[in-house]
């Protein structure tokens, strides 16, 4: 069994093609190619940690792709996921209303194919250290500013495995971006990330998209 990490698929999101210069002529092409690259990489017995921003657009149509993806899938929600703890819609109404809305949102993602959802940044063993996993890096953003500061993990001097920054970097210091825009559209094996951690802090540009 192999463990993989990925993030920021943005299934169903037309604007991400232009924003990140993805090599697709439309959402249908992008969704199908992302699924193809995933299933070429991941086997059914593997586990994939998805660090947020899974699907946008017509959400039911976009989330339908999740069940087509191989492996045991674990979601750490990002700011574009409807089940993200910071989603404004989950903070309206009475406590009972908010709790019910939150459970419905989570159920939508588990029904789509996620076996687990982890709201808070967790620890992930890699190269003998316990790295933080989160949708957000310690610092930095794809928009040139630090948004969502209150939801970012604390920089404790360790490593963070994250998404959110798209094609801004693959590695920046002790921050490793596992997003599809940094790894040629594919999930990245934990062993590859471990090699980066073993080499120490550095700066790496995104890999080109797979042909």
The Cα–Cα gap between 169 and 175 comes to 9
N-to-C CA span, the chain: 26
3-class DSSP assignment, residue 40: helix
| pLDDT (mean) for 48-66 | 95
Which stretches of 154-201 are DSSP H helices? 190-199
In this structure, the chain runs to a length of 211
Q: Would the CA dihedral through 90, 96, 102, 108 be positive or negative?
A: negative
Average pLDDT over residues 91-96: 71
DSSP 8-class letter at 183? B
The answer to whether the CB of 5 falls within 8 A of the CB of 190 is yes
Pairwise pLDDT comparison (45 vs 122), residue with the higher score: 45
CB 6 within 8 A of CB 188: yes
Q: What is the pTM of this model?
A: 0.94
Q: Which domains does the chain have, with CATH numbers?
A: 3-204 (3.60.21.10)
Residue of 61, 38, 33, 89 lying closest to 211 (CA atoms): 33
pLDDT of 191? 96
Q: Is 43's pLDDT higher than 70?
A: yes
Residue 146, pLDDT score: 81
Summarised one tens digit per residue, pLDDT across range 150-202 is 999 999 999 999 999 999 999 999 999 999 999 999 999 999 999 999 999 99
């Amino acid at each position: 069994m192999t463990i993989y990490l990925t993030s920021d698929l943005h299934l169903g999101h037309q604007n991400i093609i232009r924003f990140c210069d993805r090599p697709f002529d439309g959402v249908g092409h992008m969704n199908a190619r992302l699924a193809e690259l995933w299933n070429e990489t991941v086997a059914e017995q593997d586990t994939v940690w998805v660090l947020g921003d899974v699907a946008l657009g017509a959400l039911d149509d976009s989330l339908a792709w999740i069940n087509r993806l191989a492996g045991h899938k674990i979601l750490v929600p990002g700011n574009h996921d409807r089940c993200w703890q910071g989603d404004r819609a989950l903070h309206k109404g009475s406590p009972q209303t908010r709790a019910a809305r939150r459970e419905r949102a989570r159920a939508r993602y588990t029904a789509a194919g996620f076996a687990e959802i982890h709201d808070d940044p967790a620890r992930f063993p890699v190269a003998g250290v316990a790295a933080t996993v989160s949708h957000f890096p310690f610092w930095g953003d794809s928009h040139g500013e630090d948004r969502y500061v209150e939801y970012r993990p604390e920089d404790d001097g360790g490593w963070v495995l994250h998404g959110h920054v798209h094609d801004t970097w693959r590695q920046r210091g002790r921050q490793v971006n596992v997003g599809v825009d940094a790894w040629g559209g594919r999930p990245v094996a934990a062993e590859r990330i471990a090699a980066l951690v073993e080499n120490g802090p550095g700066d790496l540009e995104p890999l080109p998209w797979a042909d």
